[in-house]
A and B are shown apart, each in its own frame.
Chain A
Amino acid sequence: MKYLPFVFRNLFRNKLRTALTGGAIGLAMLLVCFFMTMPGGIDRLLSEISSNVRVSVHNKGGVVYDLPSAYVQRVRGIPGVAAVNGEVWFGGAYEDEGIVTFPSFAIDPDTVGAVWPDYGIDPLVLEKFRRQRDAVIVGRETMKKYRWRIGQQVSLVSTIWPVTLAFKIVGEIPNDRAPHFWMQREYLAQALEAQDRQLDTVGTIWVRVADPTLVHDVMTRAVAMFRNSPAEVNAETEKSFFASFFGSLQSFVQIILVVTGLVALCVLCIAANTASMAVRERSREIAVLRAIGFGRGVIFGMLVAESVVLATAAGSAGALLTYAFSAMIRTLSGSSMGGTEVGALTGFLVTREIVARGIALSAVVGLVAGIAPAWGAARRPVAETLREVF
């Protein structure tokens, strides 16, 4: 510790060089930190894509027009389709008559888990939803809005169908932005039957495709299947654009990893170069120190410390800068104005853990870079070095 002031003095001996080396290390660590988010971020993105290989099939005339409910099984038969769920708009009004404040649908309880695996609904909830005829699953946004609790009874007056239904909330969709109110299709069908009406249509058919690469294919086939029929359909997906990149993204991750390694290596070389220059230009002083009685260990330690301090300080600055940047983005996207534009990209934000890893990496770089020059300097015979300078 008592040598530390001396170490710092030496660091500031050549301010320009220290600044340049520090700048290079800092910038490189900045890159490395961003790169380090990539495997995780892309992973997140991919899983989002693979869960959003969801296609909506609806009437070509627009979502307000129905489709025959027989279409559901026909779409199910398209190769590459993993699950389907036909959804009927219920249009329930809760507090004010005739005013719909959240989207309510009648759906097939058996395939909810298969079509919306990414919603993360508790399997036990899904099981209750299947078993209880009047069961509903409600998105957390609506739950919060009305301070509903699970187990609670609620009644909705449909603005579409001539029914008023009482429901029991069996669970929620654990997502703050989910407003959905999902009831059993069979519950609605029975209520209509009591009035001698038949429920034989669906509004939207939700399709989960087995593989992102098949999304386009499934969509084309679905459209083709009902061409020239009384109800032609359109198919849409939000994420098909990303999905086409699915394959290339994975090799991208590998390239990124290689680039990260190269950048780290580059920093190592810069740091090692600086360390060896520092040692070379000071060889006389080092010899003098050793002549005075500084042992090899102390000399070695001081030189390595110099390299470690420089690399760690510069690397930390770079890493913390990425963190500050990410924190800023996070704040923006968290605020109501920024909205959800960042969305899936939050996976690419630098976390504390990444910053810690960046700083640790900088320290290791400094250590490794400093070892060889410091070792060489500490081992040089004193008498010879002294001679060279006299």
Chain B
Amino acid sequence: MPEPLIALRDVSRVYRRGADDVHALEHVSLTIAGGLFAALMGPSGSGKSTLLNLLSGIDRPSGGDVVVAGKRLNDLSEDALARWRSRHVGLIFQFYNLIPVLSALENVELPLLLTALDRRERLARARLALDVVGLGARAAHAPAELSGGEQQRVAIARAIVTDPDLIIADEPTGDLDARNADQILRLLLELSHELQKTVVMVTHDPRASEWVDIVFHLEKGVLKETYAGGAGKARAPATGGPP
């Protein structure tokens, strides 16, 4: 088995809220192999978003190690983390979070501004990414002119345009109807199974477990359960508990 793309070792995250501490994550350890489609499930407030933030280097753990693609994120400075994210992570949010003043194409181009590519190459790649999500024809549209499902697909194009190893999605279907949700899930599955991206998705959708390779179940900041999803590509890539 190849070295896991993601390895969390004994990770905790404590938030200070006034006088008391909120233990958003407590001693979570898990690994996820490269190319898997993983779901993070659990009730609201169980620490799913916190975990995603740690995986993507948006936040840092209070304790434990976060290792992604062989890099120990704990060691990186704020700016180094930003640079690392721009190369290795694609982010998808529940509310799409496209920039309203930019067209679909420009939104997708955005992460490429941080690269050395010139404008022509940037636009060519952005077009390609839009084609991948099936929105090549809507390139010039502003986000407000697109449906929720379309906006989320633009957001996915934006997440994959830099060709990252890891795609992180926080409730990407939470705001969509079933048909659009399926479309998004299928897209994420394809990214994982055809383009070998590692996709980690937080979801409340019980049907989502049918789409993914592996499900991590969190409760009150503790990793309670790990099981194979319906896509069935998981061949014991995950471990719960301390390594």
Closest residue to A382 on the B side, CB-wise? Answer: B58
Interface string of B77-116 (1 = CB under 8 A from A): 0110011111101010111010111100010001101100
Q: Is the CB of A289 within 8 A of B58?
A: no
B119 within 8 A of A: yes
| Nearest-Cβ distance from residue B133 to partner chain A, whole angstroms | 17
B170 within 8 A of A: yes
| Nearest-Cβ distance from residue B114 to partner chain A, whole angstroms | 6
A166 within 8 A of B: no
In the complex, what distance in Å separates the CA atom of A2 from the CA atom of B84? 21
Interface residue count for B (Cβ, 8 Å)? 31
A383-B58 in contact given A293-B83, A294-B82 (Cβ < 8 Å): yes
The residue in B49, B53, B93, B97 that gathers the most chain A C-beta atoms within 10 A of its C-beta is: B97
Partner of A2, one of B59, B78, B111, B113: B113
Residues of A within 8 A of B102 (CB): 6, 9
Residues of B within 8 A of A239 (CB): none
- Which residues B108-141 have CB closer than 8 A to chain A? 110-111, 113-114, 119
A3 within 8 A of B: yes
Partner of B82, one of A6, A296, A387: A296
| Nearest-Cβ distance from residue B118 to partner chain A, whole angstroms | 9
Closest residue to B158 on the A side, CB-wise? Answer: A292
Residues of A within 8 A of B91 (CB): 288, 291-292
Q: Is the CB of B59 within 8 A of A383?
A: yes
Residues of B within 8 A of A9 (CB): 101-102
A65 within 8 A of B: no
A329 within 8 A of B: no
A161 within 8 A of B: no
B203 within 8 A of A: no
| Nearest-Cβ distance from residue A289 to partner chain B, whole angstroms | 7
Closest residue to B171 on the A side, CB-wise? Answer: A390
- Which residues A264-286 have CB closer than 8 A to chain B? 284-285
Closest residue to B99 on the A side, CB-wise? Answer: A285
Interface string of A285-320 (1 = CB under 8 A from B): 100111111111110000000000000000000000
Closest residue to A298 on the B side, CB-wise? Answer: B114
Q: Is the CB of A296 within 8 A of B79?
A: yes
Q: Is the CB of B58 within 8 A of A291?
A: yes
Interface string of A343-387 (1 = CB under 8 A from B): 000000000000000000000000000000000000001110011
Residues of B within 8 A of A294 (CB): 82, 86, 114
Residues of B within 8 A of A6 (CB): 102, 106, 110, 113
Interface residues on A, range: 20 to 34
Q: Is the CB of B93 within 8 A of A288?
A: yes
Closest residue to A295 on the B side, CB-wise? Answer: B82
Closest residue to B50 on the A side, CB-wise? Answer: A383
Q: Is the CB of A3 within 8 A of B59?
A: no
A292-B85 in contact given A297-B79, A298-B114, A390-B49 (Cβ < 8 Å): yes
Residues of A within 8 A of B113 (CB): 2-3, 6
At the interface, is chain B mostly helix, strand, loop or mixed? helix
A10 within 8 A of B: yes
Residues of A within 8 A of B94 (CB): 390
In the complex, what distance in Å separates the CA atom of A384 from the CA atom of B56? 14
In the complex, what distance in Å separates the CA atom of A382 from the CA atom of B81? 12
A13 within 8 A of B: yes
Residues of B within 8 A of A3 (CB): 113
In the complex, what distance in Å separates the CA atom of A13 from the CA atom of B58? 27
A12 within 8 A of B: yes
Q: Is the CB of A12 within 8 A of B101?
A: yes
In the complex, what distance in Å separates the CA atom of A298 from the CA atom of B97? 19
In the complex, what distance in Å separates the CA atom of A386 from the CA atom of B95? 11
Q: Is the CB of B79 within 8 A of A288?
A: no
Closest residue to B82 on the A side, CB-wise? Answer: A295
A295-B59 in contact given A2-B113, A12-B101 (Cβ < 8 Å): no
Partner of B85, one of A10, A293, A297, A386: A293
Q: Is the CB of A293 within 8 A of B49?
A: no
Closest residue to B168 on the A side, CB-wise? Answer: A291
Residues of B within 8 A of A2 (CB): 113, 119
The residue in B83, B85, B119 that gathers the most chain A C-beta atoms within 10 A of its C-beta is: B85
In the complex, what distance in Å separates the CA atom of A9 from the CA atom of B106? 11
- Which residues A149-202 have CB closer than 8 A to chain B? none
Residues of A within 8 A of B49 (CB): 387, 390
In the complex, what distance in Å separates the CA atom of A382 from the CA atom of B85? 12
Q: Is the CB of A383 within 8 A of B99?
A: no
In the complex, what distance in Å separates the CA atom of A358 from the CA atom of B135? 48
Closest residue to A6 on the B side, CB-wise? Answer: B102
Residues of B within 8 A of A291 (CB): 56, 58, 85, 91
Residues of A within 8 A of B87 (CB): 293
Binding site for B on A (CB under 8 A): 2-3, 6, 9-10, 12-13, 284-285, 288-298, 381-383, 386-387, 389-390
A-B contact pairs, 21 of them (CB 8 A): A2-B113, A6-B106, A6-B110, A6-B113, A284-B97, A288-B93, A288-B97, A289-B110, A290-B82, A291-B85, A291-B91, A292-B86, A293-B83, A294-B114, A295-B83, A295-B114, A296-B82, A383-B53, A390-B49, A390-B93, A390-B94
